[in-house]
Amino acid sequence: MSFSGTVKEELAAQISPARHCQLAELAALLHFSGGVCEGGKHLCLNTENEAVAKKCFTLFKKAFNIDTVVTSAKGRLLPDGETELKVMQALHLGGNEGVPITLEAPVSSLLIKNSCCGRAYLRGAFLSVGSMSDPRKSYHLEFVCGERAQAEQLRDLILGFEIEARVIRRKKYDVVYLKEGSGIVDLLNVMGAHISLMNLENLRIVKGMRNSINRRVNCETANISKTVAAASKQIEDILLVRDRYGFENLPDHLRQMAEVRLEYPDAALKELGGYLEPAVGKSGVNHRLRRLSEIADGIRS
């Protein structure tokens, strides 16, 4: 199962004990996965997602103490009459006194005014239209909305939890998305996907350690390359001085430096200083090697 599927499986198993939270999540499921039939008179559930359908049925049972009736021919979700009207009134969907049922508009702010209800609504929205990329490859979580107003409401709700979210137009859909790993972790926590959150954090730690090791290796490799290149240039200069100028014409401290460098071509500057008599520090070695390079440059010119 994909990481996104695992998150949905965890969210589908959660049922809020409070009725107001059940209504908020049910509203999200119907707004994003529902529809209307028979001229806008009845609710329908237009989804092949078994987890969404099962969650809808469970929430109807919990919040309204009714058993839903599904007619495959028309996608009917609720029985006729007073019970269905009661549901639509509780979810602020219209449907009474000739007012058609509407699912395209944003959900009523009354249903998500509490923080706990906002969390439940986000849970239902992710179950319906949410997805998440494999965090081993990239960090990306999104909600694909059919209406701009719904996407903006969803984005504002996420921002209310101090999580960065944006809306982008993709073909005929408006997509609410998050691309920061920390923001996705926070949103999983808000929705209540705590097991998935811990799995994601573990993956982020491993990925972070791997990146840190790679950076360190790259840095050390670059330093080694610079050291090797510098040593090669020093030896080239010293050989030129020996062949064209002669070590016997050098001051004793430079002659000794040149001989030690040729004897220990792979040694670091600090190590080279220990081979001199008397020993000198890294800066002293660097100064003497630079003086030899100047003599070599003079020979070349």
Q: What are phi and psi of 171, to 5 degrees?
A: 55, -120
Whether 218 is covered by a domain: the verdict is no
Which of 101-105, 193-197, 217-221 is least confident? 101-105
175, 60: one domain: yes
Query: What is the tens place of the pLDDT at every residue in 275-292?
Result: 898 888 989 999 999 999
243, 153: one domain: no
147, 29: one domain: yes
Q: Distance of CA 32 to CAs 122, 169, 199, 251, 254, Å?
A: 11, 17, 27, 86, 81
125, 181: one domain: yes
Whether 217 is covered by a domain: the verdict is no
Domain encompassing residue 278? 225-300
d(CA 121, CA 209): 35
152, 54: one domain: yes
44, 173: one domain: yes
66, 105: one domain: yes
Q: Supply the pLDDT for residue 136.
A: 85
Query: What is the tens place of the pLDDT at every residue in 7-17?
Result: 999 999 999 99
pTM above 0.75, yes or no: no
87, 198: one domain: yes
162, 269: one domain: no
Q: What CATH number is attached to the domain comprising 40? A: 3.10.28.10
